[in-house]
Structure 1
Amino acid sequence: MAVLVALGAFLMTLAGGWTAQRVTDRRHLVLGLAGGLMLGVVGLDLLPEALKTAGTEVFGVPAALLLFVAGFLLAHLAERLLADLPRDPHSARTEEDQAAAHGAGAPDGRVPEVGLTAAAAMVGHSAMDGVAIGAAFQVGGGMGASVALAVVAHDFADGFNTYTITSLYGNARRRAVAMLFADAAAPVLGAASTLFFVLPEPLLGGYLGLFGGVLLYLAAAEILPEAHHEHPARSTLLCTVAGAAFIWLVVGLAG
């Protein structure tokens, strides 16, 4: 049952990525919406769930919050390390890759590897979404349905964000599409994996806290500044607010 439900997440992820591809002439609006969706997922979905399931404290601080901060710092460290790596433009194999290597596809000197790393983190998160569905169905059908509703609804945002993040850093379209399909397949594989094990709740909560920190860094330090860089319009801000409000609606309906 969990695997069948996860197929809905597969379709919603592809729908989100398709939407991101079709609005290239409104890139600032796409980025503003993506930032709002990411902020909403972190603050209204991931972090509350992490605090609830990873209930232990470490030196007076909830473990989920410590991992949240660790995720933020790890994302910042990874970006800086990748940005400082020496790059050989002659190693690009295609014209699209060469353009990205020379900075034509990566505005403000952004490094394509950062986008791939961020998208890979999204794929990992989507796999854990599938694990969450499977684990919830291990508890009972009612909880499984509730978790599945939340996952399927916000996987539209995951697909949207995966394609946007990969493209934002100057990666070729084929790479963005490949990461999108990997992100779409991940929940199905994650749900299937729970047929072979039972996931402890504290471990799942810790992961959600860690990923929440990574996602917040991407939204606050990369996506939103880029959205307002060339088009500091009210419409962009409204898209950000709408994205966060949409996640609030999803969380409220799922609860």
Structure 2
Amino acid sequence: MPVLIACGAVLMTLLGGWVAQRVTDRRHLVLGLAGGLMLGVVGLDLLPEALDAAGRPVFGVPLALLCFVLGFLAAHALERLLAVRRAARGSGPPGAAGAVAPNGGRIPQVGLTAATAMVLHSVMDGFALGLAFQAGHGMATAVALAVIAHDFADGFNTYTITSLYGNARHRALLMLGADAAAPLLGAAATLVVTLPEQWLGGYLGFFGGVLLHLATSGILPEAHHAHPALPTLACTVAGAGAIWLVVGLAG
């Protein structure tokens, strides 16, 4: 049964990626929506779950929040290191905002790394789905609704992030396919693997920090750079509100 429901998550992920592809003529609106979805996922979904699962504090601070800061710093450090490396090869100044490449696009490796993090998160979605079915039907129903609903945002964000950082369309589609298949892998893994709850809390916090960095340093600045208009802002607010709605319905 978990694997069957994970198939629904696969379809929702692919639908999210398809929508992201089809609205390229309104790129600033797509990026504004993606930024809002990511902020909503981090603040309204990942961090509350992480704080619930992370266990006792470490030196007065919840483990989930320590991992959240670590994830943000790790994403920032990766982007800066790749920018410095590109500059060392004569591709431009290391301090260029957003790790910009000479052709005006962003560093493709950053997009691929971010998309890979999205794929790993989708694996954990499937894993959570499988564990919920082991806990009982009530828990399973709530988790299934949450996973299927927000996998649309996962697919949308995976394709958007990969393409935003200058990767070719076939790479964006490849990462979208991997993100779509990931919940199946995670659901199947629960047949043989269990994960301590404290580890899950640390992972969710870390991933939330990575997503927040991507949203605030790449997605939202790019969305408002050429089109600082109210419709773009409205899309960002709508994205965060959509995640709030999903979390509320799933709860």
- The two structures have a TM-score, normalised by structure 1, of 0.91
Partners of 1:135 and 1:199 within 8 A in 2: no
Q: 2:81: which partner in 1?
A: 81
Q: 1:103: which partner in 2?
A: 103
Cα distance in 1 between the residues matched to 2:69 and 2:206: 7
Q: Does 1:21 align with 2:17?
A: no
Cα distance in 1 between the residues matched to 2:225 and 2:37: 19
Q: 1:156: which partner in 2?
A: 152
Q: 1:97: which partner in 2?
A: none
Secondary structure of the residue aligned to 1:57 is coil
Cα distance in 2 between the residues matched to 1:147 and 1:156: 15
Q: 1:33: which partner in 2?
A: 33
Offset at 1:55? 2.1
Alignment CA distance shift 1:101-1:57 (3 Å): closer
Offset at 1:102? 5.4
Q: 2:135: which partner in 1?
A: 139
Offset at 1:101? 7.4
Gaps of 5+ in 2: 91-99
User: Runs (4+) of structure 1 moved beyond 3 Å?
Assistant: 86-89
Deviations along 1:67-115, one digit per CA (max 9) or x if unpaired, are 01000000101111112223879xxxxxxxxxx97526x1xxx111111
Secondary structure of the residue aligned to 1:170 is coil
Cα distance in 2 between the residues matched to 1:253 and 1:42: 17
Offset at 1:28? 0.2
Aligned length: 241
Cα distance in 2 between the residues matched to 1:196 and 1:145: 22
RMSD of aligned residue pairs (Cα, Å): 1.5
Question: What amino acid maps onto 2:25 in structure 1?
Answer: D
Aligned counterpart in structure 2 of residue 128 of structure 1, from 119, 124, 127: 124
Offset at 1:199? 2.0
- The two structures have a TM-score, normalised by structure 2, of 0.93
Mapping of residues 1-255 of structure 1, within 5 Å: 1-86=1-86, 103=103, 106=105, 110-255=106-251
Cα distance in 1 between the residues matched to 2:117 and 2:2: 22
Partners of 1:68 and 1:210 within 8 A in 2: yes
Question: What amino acid maps onto 1:145 in structure 2?
Answer: T
Cα distance in 2 between the residues matched to 1:213 and 1:180: 21
Percent sequence identity over aligned pairs: 74
Deviations along 1:192-238, one digit per CA (max 9) or x if unpaired, are 00110222211111111110000011011110000000000000000
Cα distance in 1 between the residues matched to 2:170 and 2:58: 44
Deviations along 1:141-172, one digit per CA (max 9) or x if unpaired, are 21111111101100000000000000001110
Cα distance in 2 between the residues matched to 1:217 and 1:116: 15
Offset at 1:248? 0.3
